[in-house]
Amino acid sequence: MRHFPLLSLFLTSTLLTASPLSEEQMVTKGSEASALLLQKLGGELKNQMQTNGSMGALHFCSQNALTLTEQIAKESKTSIKRISINNRNPVNKANKDEIALLNEWDKLVKNGQPLPAQKLVKVSDSTIMYYKPIVINNEACLKCHGNVEGALAKAIHTTYPEDKATGYKMGDLRGMIAITIKRD
Ligand code: HEC
């Protein structure tokens, strides 16, 4: 067999350089990262509520929700935010475009229409935004986002003096996950 040193060099270098993602792979990345985030946060929340009660879970959320989100973003090489118009944590506040999308979805919910599982926006050839609605789908959410009273309400107000994230009911749109995905 003849040898083609240049060809083999070429093959090795293309195999070693990760090829840019296709659009479909970018979408898969978004849905995987958002599913993982919901699963992790939901799991930890449940665990904390059971072992340490609402107050312990509140403490856990305020200390760890962002760190957990960052961790999943890093692992999936994306950038992930949890956004709300009625945000609790000031860093999760929606910007103008995000407010428009959330209002559109809120209207659907109020009219009893189904929400899309996700929305994709192509920002450029190399970047897409992946948005996923977050709905109050569990009575447990209402402990801290419903009509919160007493010591828990006080603790929330102490940590988040400008909290807007109460008064929700089951089925309400709470916010969304926004993931920036780059092609390479
Ligand atoms: C034990 C209290 C507690 C429970 C229960 C709880 N949350 Fe939260 N939530 C918080 C705290 C504290 C924050 C602010 C810290 C952070 O996550 O950045 C927050 C923030 C959020 C945010 C980010 C936007 C914002 O307002 O800052 C979303 C979205 C959210 N919660 C959805 C939910 C959903 C959905 C459930 C039910 C599955 C739920 N939460 C249950 C305490 C709670």
Nearest CA to ligand 1 atom 30: 174
Residue 14 predicted with pLDDT over 50: no
Return d(Cα 84, Cα 101) in angstroms, integer: 11
Nearest CA to ligand 1 atom 3: 144
**Ligand 1 pocket member 34 (CB < 6 A):** no
For the segment 78-96, the average pLDDT, to the nearest whole number, is 98
pLDDT in tens, 117-128: 999 999 999 999
Residue 1 predicted with pLDDT over 70: no
Return d(Cα 62, Cα 45) in angstroms, integer: 11
**Ligand 1 pocket member 71 (CB < 6 A):** no
**Ligand 1 pocket member 134 (CB < 6 A):** yes
For the segment 147-169, the average pLDDT, to the nearest whole number, is 98
Cα(177) to centroid(ligand 1), Å: 12
**Mean pLDDT across the chain:** 92
For the segment 84-95, the average pLDDT, to the nearest whole number, is 98
Q: Which residues contact 105 (CB under 8 A, 6 or more apart)?
A: 115, 116, 133, 173, 176
Residue 160 predicted with pLDDT over 60: yes
Q: Which of 171, 165, 169, 175 has the alpha carbon at shortest distance from 62?
A: 165
For the segment 73-79, the average pLDDT, to the nearest whole number, is 96
For the segment 3-29, the average pLDDT, to the nearest whole number, is 68
**Ligand 1 pocket member 174 (CB < 6 A):** yes
Confidence of residue 184 (pLDDT cuts 50, 70, 90): confident
**Ligand 1 pocket member 64 (CB < 6 A):** no
**Ligand 1 pocket member 142 (CB < 6 A):** no
In this prediction, residue 116 carries a pLDDT of 96
Residue 56 predicted with pLDDT over 60: yes
Nearest CA to ligand 1 atom 19: 88
The mean-pLDDT minimum among 9-13, 31-35, 45-49, 56-60 falls in 9-13
Residue 6 predicted with pLDDT over 60: no
The encoded tokens of residue 145 equal 């986002």
**Ligand 1 pocket member 69 (CB < 6 A):** no
Pocket test for ligand 1, best of 38, 40, 45 (most atoms within 8 A of CB): 45
